[in-house]
Structure 1
């Protein structure tokens, strides 16, 4: 894989070494290759490691197979991709319910395969949605951007907002659920609240609307990203998601959970990105 990254430096003044280590998170081995091959250019000039990079300078990095070996995956169907945002480095798509984000087996076809076919290159999963959940999913289009965007995710700088249709009438307008979540020892598919051994899980919930059939439309914002976090927290508090095959008895045509919005600051441009994913089910199919 040979590709060139060109960005206009949005960061404070610093050395090339600081830029590559602290802002672009390029691994030591790859930084070594960039230096020995003279694959770093600032404003078209090949420079040394201690040269200063000013805000607004044009940065050009050349990567080849020694840096990032070629990775291929099975071809998907680009016509199945509902693209919400795309640039040279990132792509956000609207995942339909019932589709996996990535396959569990090497030859299994999932959303990742379709997105890679749409982008014309192998993409990389940044975060996941359950198979039954629809909505906005973020992918990296090259291995260079992956650790940078992963750091945003780890530092809670990517805001994820979900819509959920739940059983019951949520009594308060807002709440924060903080119960720790762990594995269910009796059912490997499930998670449960485990305050002693579970992992920290924080979900902010806001009531959007009550319906006459004893259901509530709820907005959920994740501060952490545990498996089944929204599903487990809502079920634990007595508001299981409608159509949830694991945590609810109330059936529906699908699990009523949708990743409605993604918000973050683009790490290479510092532009504010806010993307919303539509859902015909939630916009037209909710109770009146």
Structure 2
């Protein structure tokens, strides 16, 4: 199940070479044949554009003549945009500006067959979002109807998902704004006991600018514990944010309107080294989740409750 939007120039035709060059000059895109794929390695968001081929129509309620007219109408829109349903809400937040930029650059108009979509005519960024969100709800409902009781479903509150997405999407810009060489870790989605959690990495207590997460993975290479007067091999420990935050604040400061904590020193203070070396290894192994595996809790739980009735 997916959201499909068809685009064409308001006037004249579109040059395929110009279209390919446009995507080549934008980050995150890969062109292959008639398809253009977008993938952001930082956020995990993906979608694609292509030159629309002959598109099937619902022939159950259409005469042969009406069907031919509808097929011709679809074929007159040479660009197709596709964004899958059953995804976290931030997928459309990243996709919409990309579609909007394309429409503005080539002065395109749209044909949107989705319910609550924009219909035929001028493109609407807001209608793209509301149309996709409506269909995404349907995707959640359909999945829950087919779901096996033994299958784990990973989900987090929508606010937490979108905050994590925003951090990862703007992480490089945030690093550049610091003006100093500090590690800015990404937020990863992890599975713990079939539950989704957020996690960032803090290697050896190095200078860092970090936003709140559920857990921090401290990779210990230089500051591993000592046992029987010998340093132990490199390892990692998983520490709850509630334990890490006081250490960061004690040696750093809150920045970005309270959205992050920055610690900046030449070498880690002895208190930080003691904290790092004293952590005990966790009794669980984190398993990385893709961004598209973590759903919005509000949507999933709403339909899950309906399914029990």
Q: Give the TM-score, by structure 2 length.
A: 0.25
Give the structure with the higher percent helix.
2
TM-score (norm 1): 0.26
